[in-house]
Structure 1
Amino acid sequence: MHWNDVVTMALRWPEVAEATSYGEPSLKVRKRLLARLRLHDDSIVLLGVPVAEREHLIELMPEAFFCEPHYAGYDIVLARLAHIPAEVLERILERRWRSSATRRAIADFDQ
């Protein structure tokens, strides 16, 4: 996966827009962060991933998922774009999108 693949995946959902966060490329849903690229290591910050799920993902796919101490207290997991399966990434992003988008946007998408 590459960042452009992530952008293409996410932009098919209503209310998603390209933006920047901490000076790096990001995706937002109505100004709420969906995901952010970390340029220095080509990884992505994925929000809305509870700690127990994060630990499970890291255990199952350590080549793809990891966490740094800075993020330990948050519902966040980091993923290496070169190793994350597209279908796993899509499920994580869509869940975050559904928690951030308006009910109308979700209903329109689901039709």
Structure 2
Amino acid sequence: MPYDESVEQLIRAISELDYVKKFKKTDAKLHENTRLFEQQETMKAQQKEAILYQKIGKINAYKVTSQAAQKIEKSLKSDILVAQYFTALQDVNDLIQHVTSEIEQKVNVLLENDEK
């Protein structure tokens, strides 16, 4: 079987797994929720401001913006959709690491056998 065809077959098989389907569904829901992305952008902007304030020695402004950014971050982390996304992402990452490790082991065995 040609390499490209094998890769496509593997991709199709992986994309049909429940882990991956769940991740795709959660990812789509997350991207529909513009409020979460707006909060994330606000948090990033405040983090940048806090760093700037720290660099120029405005300690009170640093504390205020840093605390505001931390408050948003805590809110994002406690959002159920974000939590579901990261759980699904971890499951898919674990799956991909497992598949990659299996492929690597099998390739190494084949290479060792070819050298003999």
* TM-score in terms of structure 2 length: 0.23
Larger Rg belongs to:
2
Q: Which has the higher strand share?
A: 1
* TM-score in terms of structure 1 length: 0.24
Q: Which has the higher helix share?
A: 2
